[in-house]
Structure 1
């Protein structure tokens, strides 16, 4: 999410990546719509809840898209594994961390001004260090950033497509495999179709490595960069594949809920098969239809919005909290506000982007003084 794209000339700018980043950010805010309403407390019954379950499944491409972008952008770089070279590369995380600290500080200021007196200096400091609110992604991304030079060298040191596919297959078995084969009670045919029970799940594959799913996305992004020519693909076929993936995934999620509340389990987690498939298809689709050349003004607007998404992601914790508290008090639960979902998501996203502009401006001034 925070591998920043520098504004280049029209001929150099990859519009598809900017669009992917912006749409990923909007998907994040959309997923938080369900988190901030009573969606997870209401049984998946009736047309509205079926539609909402489908939307929730669709927007889970958000975080995976950012991870695919990281692999796509970093994997081709030639980073020497020497102390000085690594030191130079690691310095690039300073602006990212500064954006994070400023954005989190702004979140706590907004919540304090709103009347939450619990946000004292101590809570702010431990909130930043503890990656509170929506900051779990930053917690994960720091590690991915530190590993990126080594991951990129692993990828570039492999000289053939077959070995690249073996590498991706190994990571897929370790991280995606458990989301398919470790999610059922296999003791009888009847139990397979029974309600989910953590205590009755049978494992077929090793599940310990599942949390390495960011590396799987990194290498998938690298594969897309190395071998896929988006402009030679037929967008209609990619879109059809994406729709089918979302339809099947949504139907499966609804079925596994068994008429109860929506289940957030291994099979629909960030590294699951359904989210990996939909995210890769979405990434390919957006980059296959994106224009190769647009007006300079439009290009700069997209580049600027793309740059703001990291800070805006953090700040949306505050904009969401303000908006959803108002909705719960004045409108109702998820069924009542469902019709307003596009307006709600866009309002929170736009406010977060505006505040992110302030954060990035302050960051720029700080870095300007530090590097004089």
Structure 2
């Protein structure tokens, strides 16, 4: 049995909290106001961090699943993800209907599960299903050769195809960008690389890594502020998931988290950390419901978008805790049902 790397648990918990945090900007109206003043400017900096949630999740997937190969048991495991998705989507629909007065019929909700719209955050599940099915193929390519030069070739090709176009096409298309929508493959391979060469990563001087991380993040953040200050924040290829900005920030965050000084033996004090880490997908899906309920009342109580931004930490914590509690209940019920069936 492999020893647990608590660094990956930290990455997943940070990523799920980042999901709820970046959705605050979406639901509070941040993208509808001009970036002027201290608070909107700080939110631009925070967005540069929290937008890495999806990249961090995908890299964590690569780290954890880089040695998986095609088998019947591998295919079967996707059904738990689909079951969770269906259960949470039904609860999401019930909550929107009973609490928020949604007029979506049950049949429309069922159809919405097929196009991943009943739960508005479920696009990630749609992406993950495809990635999960591709993983045995991606791993087969990775393990075709075991030398680092070959693995670096895969990373370089990934950067060229998925992320570099956002940097070089800022002022016009000078690089092919057809493959950028396949960015999850790039993040996945970086996660596999970090797992394969984890021992080398642990030898990187922490002070040096921290210094360069701060310098690089400062530059990227200042670019983001400079590009958006005095106007409404713009989603561009630079700051989207396939953009060089989230890509670089996600890489340095992943490396920093991997350098955390956890001991590899099991500790009871990490129980909450590992519990939340194991529920991240459920929390992610439930946050659609908790966000909808909380922001519905929050917007009525605080009509001004600029005033809403001040309440960010409290609102994010409330939504995160609510989604976590709902996830714990559902996961507990499913666990008991599974144990009962086995008995």
TM-score category, normalised to shorter length: over 0.9
**TM-score in terms of structure 2 length:** 0.93
**TM-score in terms of structure 1 length:** 0.86
Which ranges of structure 1 fall in alignment gaps of 5 or more residues? 1-7, 185-201
TM-superposed deviation, 1:135: 0.7
Aligned-partner Cα distance in 2 for 1:307–1:27: 16
Alignment of 1:251-270 (within 5 A): 251-257=222-228, 259-270=230-241
Q: 1:100 and 2:71 equivalent? A: no
Q: 1:303 and 2:274 equivalent? A: yes
Aligned-partner Cα distance in 2 for 1:244–1:108: 45
TM-superposed deviation, 1:362: 2.9
Aligned-partner Cα distance in 2 for 1:279–1:290: 20
Q: 1:30 and 2:21 equivalent? A: yes
* Equivalent residue number for residue 186 of structure 2: 216
Structure 1 pair 281–108 and aligned structure 2 pair: CA distance change class (3 A): same
Aligned-partner Cα distance in 2 for 1:244–1:332: 37
1:254–1:262 CA contact under 8 A, matched in 2? no
Which ranges of structure 2 fall in alignment gaps of 5 or more residues? none
1:180–1:273 CA contact under 8 A, matched in 2? yes
TM-superposed deviation, 1:369: 5.8
Q: 1:19 and 2:6 equivalent? A: no
1:86-113 Cα distance to aligned partner (Å, 9 max, x none): x321101011111111111111111112
1:251-299 Cα distance to aligned partner (Å, 9 max, x none): 2222222621001110111021111111111111112114115773223
Q: 1:332 and 2:318 equivalent? A: no
1:178–1:206 CA contact under 8 A, matched in 2? yes
* Equivalent residue number for residue 150 of structure 1: 137
* Equivalent residue number for residue 48 of structure 2: 57
1:169-216 Cα distance to aligned partner (Å, 9 max, x none): 1111011111111121xxxxxxxxxxxxxxxxx211111111111000
1:65–1:279 CA contact under 8 A, matched in 2? yes
* Equivalent residue number for residue 169 of structure 1: 156
2:48–2:249 CA contact under 8 A, matched in 1? no
* Stretch moving more, 249-258 or 13-22: 249-258
Aligned-partner Cα distance in 1 for 2:216–2:102: 46
* Equivalent residue number for residue 193 of structure 1: none
1:114 pairs with 99, 111, 114, which one? 99
1:36–1:324 CA contact under 8 A, matched in 2? yes
Structure 1 pair 234–343 and aligned structure 2 pair: CA distance change class (3 A): farther
1:137-170 Cα distance to aligned partner (Å, 9 max, x none): 1110000000001111111112211111111111
Aligned-partner Cα distance in 2 for 1:359–1:267: 38
TM-superposed deviation, 1:73: 1.0
Equivalent residues, number? 340
Aligned residues: CA RMSD: 1.9
Aligned-partner Cα distance in 2 for 1:368–1:23: 30
1:135–1:314 CA contact under 8 A, matched in 2? yes
1:7-31 Cα distance to aligned partner (Å, 9 max, x none): x8xx822111111100000000000
Aligned-partner Cα distance in 2 for 1:38–1:340: 13
Alignment of 1:1-372 (within 5 A): 12-77=3-68, 79=69, 81=70, 85=71, 87-132=72-117, 133-184=120-171, 202-229=172-199, 230-257=201-228, 259-293=230-264, 296-368=267-339
